[in-house]
Amino acid sequence: MSLVIAVGTSNPIKVKAVETAFRRFFKDVQVLATSVTTSIPSQPIGIEEVVKGAIERALKALGQVSEAQYGVGIEAGLIHVPHTLTGFCDQQFAAIADRSGKITLGGGPCFEFPPHVIKRVLEDNVEVEDIMEELSGIKRIGELQGAIGWLTRGIVDRHEISVQAVIMALIPRLNPSLYGLGKL
């Protein structure tokens, strides 16, 4: 029987990341993209908004796909990090929700945007993706390599950091006896 996972996004990079992460542990996986909306702003700021967005995406995706055993949400945003150049890092969080109502979370690596990017986000209420499209000249950068791909000169891309966030969210499900969860 196939493990069916609903992902709360239409972003192909995030959908592929969920598939990649789950396939590292399970052979028969079917990943279905669902378009969802969340209550958070389009540019999440603060860990609370980022995590809330990931959870809402996971729950809404699970609610839209009746055959899914799991719903997955991935949300990226700016979080406050002391001692950084700008006071912020960008980090992705993944949430995995199941039919019993349990949610597991995981985060990916975080990185800083250039100071003028953060300044425009905070002062002009512009989304990071829009600024990075202008800076890089790459349209729809968030659906391609992501800003991280451009900033690292292609060494790390959005797919890779999204996979890592999903795997981190899978840890309690891969070790259910350690976390008081039922079998995956």
Binding residues for Mg(2+): 67
- Residue 30, φ and ψ in degrees, nearest 5: -125, 120
Q: How far apart are CA 138 and CA 120, in angstroms?
A: 18
Annotated binding site: 9-14, 67-68
Binding-site members for substrate are 9-14, 67-68
Angle at 38 between CA 160 and CA 54, to 5 degrees: 35
> What are φ and ψ of residue 4, in 5° steps?
-100, 125
Separation CA 81–CA 95 (nearest Å): 21
Residue 75 CB partners (closer than 8 Å, separation 6+): 38, 40, 44, 50, 51, 52, 53, 54, 57, 92, 93, 95
